[in-house]
Structure 1
Amino acid sequence: MRPITLLPLTMAALALTQPAHADQQSVRERASFNADWRFMKGDPSGGADAALDDAKWRKLDLPHDFGIEGPFKQEYQGETGKLPWWGVAWYRKKFTLPAGDAGRRIHLDIDGAMSHATVWVNGKRVGGWPYGYTSFRVDLTEHLKPGAENTLAVRLDNPPDSSRWYPGGGIYRNVWLVKTAPLHVAHNGTFVTTPIVKADAATVDVQVTLDNKGAATAAQVSTALYALDAAGRRTGEALARSEASALTKVGAGRQILLAQSLELKQPRFWSPRTPQRYVAVTTVSEQGRVVDEVETPFGVRTVSFDAARGFFLNGEHVAIQGVCMHHDLGALGAALNVRALERQLEILKEMGVNAIRTTHNPPAPEMLDLADRMGFLIVEEAFDAWRLGKTPNDYGLLYDEWHEKDLRAMVKRDRNHPSVIMWSIGNEIREQGEPEGWKMAAHLADIVRSEDRTRLTTAGFNHVVSGYNGFQTAVDVVGFNYKPWEYPKFHQSAPQIPVIGSETASTVSSRGEYFFPVSDDKSKGQANFQVSSYDLTAPPWASAPELEFKGLDDNPFVAGEFVWTGFDYLGEPTPYNADTTNVLNFTDPAARERAARELKELSKLNIPSRSSYFGIVDLAGFKKDRFYLYQARWRPELPMAHLLPHWNWPERVGEVTPVHLYTSGDEAELFLNGQSLGRKKRGPRDYRLRWDDVVYKPGTLRAVTYKQGKPWAEDTVQTTGKAAKLSLTADRDALLADGKDLSFVTVAITDKEGRTVPRTSNPVRFSVSGPAELVATDNGDATSHVSFQSPERAAFNGLALAIVRTKSGKAGPIVVTATSEGLGSAKVTLNSKP
């Protein structure tokens, strides 16, 4: 069987820099435009007028999410986080444009604004974009006043009932001011591919779209290739240079496409293990004068999907070990912070994750930059709904007018990232059940292919019928959501089509919560709006992780899986969720009717839950037990063992308290207070080891694991003493004084011996001295309605988190202090450097 092979494109985000040329005014400048905005929630009269007095408006820097500021309210929808993210909001900024910029083109790039953004400059409307996840550009040039003060105004109108999860509100991604000559590379106007890749050389093709906003002229383009270091900086001399293109006429107000081809000797391939990148530096000249220069990072790699054997990267079979991720950053909300994103990826990397599905929308550009640099495969998704929406005011209202614009914008922005391996055109879209729905899928897939022929298309299908009614021919790779039993059936019906688990498991749990008796019935294990961490509980359409593991192991043609989800996120607190759209996960009419009845009854409850239980890691970034189940599977070479539950059960003395072990070993012996409780060997489809008849008595549980008969790893859990003190640890103690860098500081409630005491909920107060500020606290408890900005946070099962941000331009030592009544205080010292 022939595999479906992608042209071996790669690339990373389009980075725009200002080169050192004699005529600085003529070349491109790209600068952050995040500082010193004025903000107002509401819709004042004359919000766009330059003469409006906004001095009393709140002053802030972007990115900004007004929804995360709360307050939480019980009457707000739990599906969207019980936070006030909807409504009209205005952002205004006054700035002086240097007189020397007369004659240049001035662009405003907004990476994301939630939602229905409209932009004015000096009272004149200049553009906007409704879909809150799309990056867009507006041209300010014609209405600016060089050498004078200008006023920029952005109005957002975030409709209620427009999302199934917490979307955030505000200009929540970065904003840039870009200055170019009239003749310049168009927005997202470079496209680098590597159509021929061999060990000794790769052909690098560079397509450049020139945009001429001035008089007719003649242009030349040349490109040079450089290696990038791990931080994305150019290293060494140029590895290849093109000849300058022939002098090409560009008409007034016209765009032209130019192409160049270079040979890169001895290329180093990009992969999750070796994320080597290069950069194509493209220079545009007009009448012998450099007028523009752009840098396009890229990578060299080949990607293919084989319907019989799975996924191949650079000719090597790679199992996709992926998670789905929503875009919020927990206590920080939807407002982008690169360090917070990086921390999430570091934790996922430790677990063994090599792939992320950006559910269910395009991510921030910085997410893909990090994926390129750190080595993650990305499936980038465009939409959660097409014309048939899932909530009253969602993308279904925009689809007809905007789907093509949004899809093209996504692909053109991100097609240079080596991390992106597939484009997903939709998630569980309702048109799956419509007779003509496959035609919509084919239409969207064709739009993608018209912009990028180097990658395949996919979609997340939750209706079995969608795999057999034409949808399977509309996309290149069929993604099944929660249907591992369908893998062999579909493969038999369409052996030529690759398959992936696009959304899997949806196991739910609360960190540190364990309920008894322990049952394999996935509907059990729920109490007090928490879910047991024995990792056996799941919604009706979903399963414990092992069902998907077995489906993949029994069907090795499946390329891998994307677990729902890597981290907990705001909103969708299933199983305590009255969101009736969940009934769409059922294709059987009787099952759908039963689910609808259950959800109707659930909607009558006074449910406090405001964030999900799906995460393998909780909202604060603390690992749940499930982290180690996936680590054992995804990092089989890592000696590891993890016992659960904790061993503080004074009320259970003499009662059966099952013990489970997650390990990358193949055999283990369990000891309680030195007495063996038996040695167990893992069978071919066993993914955890269980001792279900352990009778609780306080003391020490110890597991000794083996692999191929040799000692492998050990884990111990002990009955602790009473809570006696606090322990503080920071994820990083060396920070940058840039006003953005973060340290995530964990407080643990411990006994006198320093062991974390489970089931503790002591209130902790945080304070910060030095050149930093406390920006958020959390504990991972999905039912907590304490403001994320509160300096006081009760521990949840022994842990709480403080997030500390540096102050711009202010270096020096930072001291974070945690205090709790009866437990004293603890401190950790950080250092902010210039």
Structure 2
Amino acid sequence: MTTTLFTDGWTFHRAGDETGEPVRLPHDAMIAEPRSADAATGNHGGYFPGGVYRYAKTWQVPADAAGRRYRVCFEGVYGDTVVTVDGVEVAACNSGYRAFEAPLGDLAPGHQVRIEVSVDNSKTPNSRWYTGSGIYRQVWLDEVGRRSFARDGVRFTTRSIAPEGVVDVALAVEGSDSGDIASIELADASGEVVASVELAVLDGTAAGELRIPSPQTWSAEHPHLYRARVRLLDASGSLLDERRVRLGLRTLDVDPRHGLRINGEQVLLRGACVHHDNGLLGAVTLPAAEYRRARILKENGYNAIRSSHNPLSRPFLDACDELGLYVMDELTDVWFNHKTKHDGADRFEEVWRDDARAMVAEDRNRPSVIMYSIGNEIGETATERGVKTAGEIDAFLRELDATRPTTLATNLLVSMMASRGSSPFESETYTAEPGTAKPEKKSSTAANAMTAKLGRIMELASRLPAADKASRDAFAQVRIAGYNYAYGRYAGDRKKYPERVIVGSESMPGDLPAIWKRVEAVPGVIGDFMWTGWDYLGEAGIGTWSYGQAAGGINKPFPALLAGTGAIDITGLPGAPTLLARAVWGRLEAPAIAVRPMQHAGERANKTPWRSSDAVQSWSWRGHAGKAEIEVYSADDEVELLLNGRSLGRRAAGARVGFVARFTATYEPGELVAVGYRGKRERGRSSLRSADAAALRLRSEQTGLAGPDDLAYVWVELADGAGIVDVSAEDRITVQVDGPAELAGFGNAAPITEDGYTGRVARTHDGRALAILRGTGEAGTVTLTARSERHGVDVLQFDAASTALPEVPTAPPAASVRS
């Protein structure tokens, strides 16, 4: 079998457009649509409209195609999808996060076929976040022989790691003949074969084991990967099919006494919830973008990802395997009760088994995936029908994959309301039809105050006996109980239910000091996932602070675009919630300084509980005067703050003050230094400096582009000669790309903006914008020119390479790789 990317040569058509425009997949049709206050997605989808789209491609069957079969594998298409070949329907999918395949059938060599993919995402809102539209994940073409491994036909399971590694192998073969042999070789990072076995194929299956002497195990700290080469041979030894799979050896144990153990060692999950969009790229899923997100999260102290609220993409899982991140992969946000007007509740019973099969098929060979979540905030689990459904999904997943535990991410307030016949989602404003303007939301001090206390309200409500009653039966159906915003129950519930294992599946970032104290102290609590590690499009304004008389609350009016909850913003810049998390986890080498935005000094902040602080890591506030509110994050006993060499005093730090020491000072340019002390000894220091005169400067995270799907992230900054960004500077930037690359996205991290991400012009936010360049697959020099209105011009050049697919390309879910 041969698998190749099938992403070039497509045309994209909006409804009524027969001409179309050329696109390279993956492609998000929604991100380029005009936003408006009356868009039907509303606050949920960032005020983007839905739409009806069509993708088309003409493909010529190879001249040597006799005896071969072909199929197109889609990793994900958002919208109700129908695939036709020469006008005949060959596949359909109504689940936006499920991988599926379209068989092309037996085709005559040299024949030209017309492949069309129709996508209907016009009924919105159908989700509580930005979804994107169209073929937003990668597409592959499989060439398959008459005898080949089944799509999910290569399975590895680590049985033990000591005194030697033992891996069970199970293979499924389609069209097998008597005498066929399966040959498996396992190689380490150097390419040396460390284990091998040959297995006879009988009645389409083969089973056996690999024994690895002195195995190197996989964990988040040491993510060692082996490479398995699996070949199907006929009786004469001729190659019929081949798969290559990356494999990590690790054991997984969960019990109420020891919690979670990986390779026999106890692990606490320092988790981040993430949605699927890629910020400026919209929903477009490319390996370079997913790898970057995973890398930045890992660099900032996280060791675990919760996919919210759908299965992770294949490239993100690849990155988690390679970098070392544990994964809670989640099935869905919706069962049979609606959360938005057009979501998948009406077809949940129809699709959940296929969705679960696809999720497990992608995850089963991955060391990073350690548990499956069967749903998020499913209020109906407080009912008899919901409890029964939880048991059915758990049993189905265990039948598919008995090696990983299941969990259920439960908001106990939601469950308690559901047990009484109500739902918080009933009040959501998703009933407006397109063209019907929503009334402008006014600021209300009382409403803003209530919003600020919402996290505390949920946490207190979760402690009520009624909350326990509404959740206990559903929790009994899964191996790990997932608590959303309910850390106050941990100690009591562990005593009441001594066999229960608990994970904090969703939490407010500002509650982490209190949460982590319980995670470390209460046996059987295995970690916490904050909402969210990375910011996302849609659910606009839930974590965005506003000021003065601006609209508050958690559902911000247009032009709100981003959730604003991310500890890391959509461009990849860590914020104050990241500093708090690193301090709590003991992962700050020195005190870290952040300053509340001085352009809002003296204004009332309309806070939301999904953001613990609006402070930024900058001491550049040109043009602003007055009192600066300074936050120093540290696990030390005390911190001292110095401004231009003058001490502003010492403050208590560490756990006793929630890991944040607070100072105020009259702003003056210069240097701000924080010094941390343990006892009387200095442990570390850090500083912020104000920027000198700023100019437009380009700074690339990459030195070049490695191929057609590689991305270069280029920071467009208003910075001085030392690279210090002036966050108070604002400008309008125009960029031009010349050479073998295209502008894939350009914008900033402003949560409330009317600007888009698909044009050549963008404003700066806090002194920055970000340009994302995608290689075309040709070799040459790429030139990025940026021109500002007030800060000059800068030019950046780098090389782009025409790079073939790697030796072991990342392949479509559970399908083949290049042989």
TM-score surpassing 0.5?
yes
- CA deviation profile, 1:374-415 (whole Å, cap 9, x unmatched): 111111001101111211221212211111111112112221
How far does residue 650 in structure 1 lie from its aligned partner after superposition? 7.9
Q: 1:34 to 1:228 in 2, by over 3 A?
A: farther
Q: 1:769 to 1:412 in 2, by over 3 A?
A: closer
In structure 1, the partner of 2:441 is none
- CA deviation profile, 1:679-718 (whole Å, cap 9, x unmatched): 2343544332323454555554321113454333222334
Distance 1:107 1:691 in 2: 60
Structure 2 unaligned segments of length 5 or more: list them: 413-461, 545-550, 597-617, 803-819
Matches within 5 A, 1:776-791: 776-791=745-760
- Residue in structure 2 matching 1:64, options 22, 27, 32: 27
In structure 1, the partner of 2:9 is 36
Matches within 5 A, 1:283-294: 283-288=231-236, 289-294=238-243
1:273 aligns with 2:221: yes
The one-letter code matched in structure 2 to 1:240 is: A
SS in 1 for 2:289: helix
Distance 1:62 1:549 in 2: 42
In structure 1, the partner of 2:456 is none
Distance 1:292 1:75 in 2: 53
Distance 1:704 1:413 in 2: 47
In structure 2, the partner of 1:803 is 772
Q: 1:430 to 1:221 in 2, by over 3 A?
A: farther
In structure 2, the partner of 1:621 is 572
In structure 1, the partner of 2:737 is 768
The one-letter code matched in structure 2 to 1:499 is: I
- Residue in structure 1 matching 2:763, options 794, 800, 803: 794
Q: Tell me, yes or no, if the aligned pair for 2:79 and 2:133 is still in contact at 8 Å.
A: yes
Structure 1 unaligned segments of length 5 or more: list them: 1-27, 45-53, 230-234, 251-255, 508-542, 578-599
SS in 2 for 1:788: coil
In structure 2, the partner of 1:327 is 276
Of 70-79 and 152-161, the range deviating more from structure 2: 70-79
Matches within 5 A, 1:415-494: 415-463=364-412, 464=462, 465=467, 468-494=471-497
Distance 1:652 1:147 in 2: 69
In structure 2, the partner of 1:134 is 98
- CA deviation profile, 1:74-117 (whole Å, cap 9, x unmatched): 32244344454522211111111124212222222111111221
How far does residue 474 in structure 1 lie from its aligned partner after superposition? 0.6
Q: 1:73 to 1:117 in 2, by over 3 A?
A: same
Matches within 5 A, 1:100-111: 100-111=64-75
Q: How many residues of Structure 1 are paired with residues of Structure 2 in the alignment?
A: 720
Of 216-225 and 188-197, the range deviating more from structure 2: 216-225
Matches within 5 A, 1:716-795: 716-720=687-691, 724-736=694-706, 738-751=707-720, 755-795=724-764
How far does residue 604 in structure 1 lie from its aligned partner after superposition? 10
Q: CA RMSD in A?
A: 2.6
Task: Give the TM-score normalised by the residue count of structure 1.
Answer: 0.82
Q: Tell me, yes or no, if the aligned pair for 2:382 and 2:471 is still in contact at 8 Å.
A: no
In structure 2, the partner of 1:412 is 361
How far does residue 470 in structure 1 lie from its aligned partner after superposition? 0.7
Distance 2:326 2:232 in 1: 32
1:500 aligns with 2:498: no
SS in 2 for 1:561: strand
1:380 aligns with 2:350: no
Q: Tell me, yes or no, if the aligned pair for 2:320 and 2:368 is still in contact at 8 Å.
A: yes
- Residue in structure 1 matching 2:561, options 587, 599, 610: 610
Q: 1:364 to 1:627 in 2, by over 3 A?
A: same
Q: 1:217 to 1:833 in 2, by over 3 A?
A: closer
The one-letter code matched in structure 1 to 2:168 is: D
In structure 2, the partner of 1:674 is 645
SS in 2 for 1:74: coil
Q: 1:354 to 1:438 in 2, by over 3 A?
A: same
How far does residue 758 in structure 1 lie from its aligned partner after superposition? 2.3
How far does residue 620 in structure 1 lie from its aligned partner after superposition? 1.7
How far does residue 346 in structure 1 lie from its aligned partner after superposition? 1.8
In structure 2, the partner of 1:238 is 193
Q: Tell me, yes or no, if the aligned pair for 2:158 and 2:165 is still in contact at 8 Å.
A: yes
How far does residue 500 in structure 1 lie from its aligned partner after superposition? 0.6
1:187 aligns with 2:136: no
The one-letter code matched in structure 1 to 2:534 is: F
- CA deviation profile, 1:488-544 (whole Å, cap 9, x unmatched): 122122111111111111x5xxxxxxxxxxxxxxxxxxxxxxxxxxxxxxxxxxx54
Task: Give the TM-score normalised by the residue count of structure 2.
Answer: 0.83
In structure 2, the partner of 1:89 is 53
The one-letter code matched in structure 1 to 2:483 is: F
Q: Tell me, yes or no, if the aligned pair for 1:477 and 1:499 is still in contact at 8 Å.
A: yes
- CA deviation profile, 1:740-768 (whole Å, cap 9, x unmatched): 22111112223577532222221122223
Q: 1:545 to 1:284 in 2, by over 3 A?
A: same
SS in 2 for 1:242: strand
Distance 1:750 1:295 in 2: 46
- Residue in structure 1 matching 2:230, options 265, 268, 282: 282
How far does residue 221 in structure 1 lie from its aligned partner after superposition? 3.0
Of 747-756 and 724-733, the range deviating more from structure 2: 747-756
Q: 1:99 to 1:765 in 2, by over 3 A?
A: closer
Distance 2:555 2:263 in 1: 54
SS in 1 for 2:636: coil
Q: 1:707 to 1:309 in 2, by over 3 A?
A: farther
SS in 2 for 1:619: coil
The one-letter code matched in structure 1 to 2:710 is: D
The one-letter code matched in structure 2 to 1:379 is: M
Q: 1:480 to 1:194 in 2, by over 3 A?
A: same
How far does residue 640 in structure 1 lie from its aligned partner after superposition? 4.8
Identity fraction in percent: 31
Q: 1:809 to 1:695 in 2, by over 3 A?
A: closer
Q: Tell me, yes or no, if the aligned pair for 1:310 and 1:498 is still in contact at 8 Å.
A: yes
Matches within 5 A, 1:522-601: 543-555=510-522, 557-575=524-542
- Residue in structure 2 matching 1:153, options 103, 116, 125: 116
In structure 1, the partner of 2:165 is 202
Distance 1:606 1:62 in 2: 32
In structure 1, the partner of 2:183 is 223
- Residue in structure 1 matching 2:306, options 342, 347, 357: 357
In structure 1, the partner of 2:453 is none
1:259 aligns with 2:207: yes
Distance 2:676 2:593 in 1: 10
Distance 1:551 1:336 in 2: 36
Q: Tell me, yes or no, if the aligned pair for 1:611 and 1:783 is still in contact at 8 Å.
A: yes
How far does residue 358 in structure 1 lie from its aligned partner after superposition? 0.9
Q: 1:219 to 1:477 in 2, by over 3 A?
A: farther
Q: 1:651 to 1:87 in 2, by over 3 A?
A: closer
The one-letter code matched in structure 2 to 1:274 is: H
The one-letter code matched in structure 1 to 2:119 is: L
Of 306-315 and 346-355, the range deviating more from structure 2: 306-315
Q: Tell me, yes or no, if the aligned pair for 1:224 and 1:238 is still in contact at 8 Å.
A: no
How far does residue 770 in structure 1 lie from its aligned partner after superposition? 3.1
How far does residue 314 in structure 1 lie from its aligned partner after superposition? 1.0
SS in 2 for 1:470: helix
Q: 1:103 to 1:192 in 2, by over 3 A?
A: same
How far does residue 208 in structure 1 lie from its aligned partner after superposition? 0.7
- CA deviation profile, 1:131-163 (whole Å, cap 9, x unmatched): 010001232214x33321111111111232211
Distance 1:391 1:471 in 2: 23
Q: 1:323 to 1:473 in 2, by over 3 A?
A: same
Matches within 5 A, 1:278-317: 278-288=226-236, 289-317=238-266
The one-letter code matched in structure 2 to 1:474 is: Q
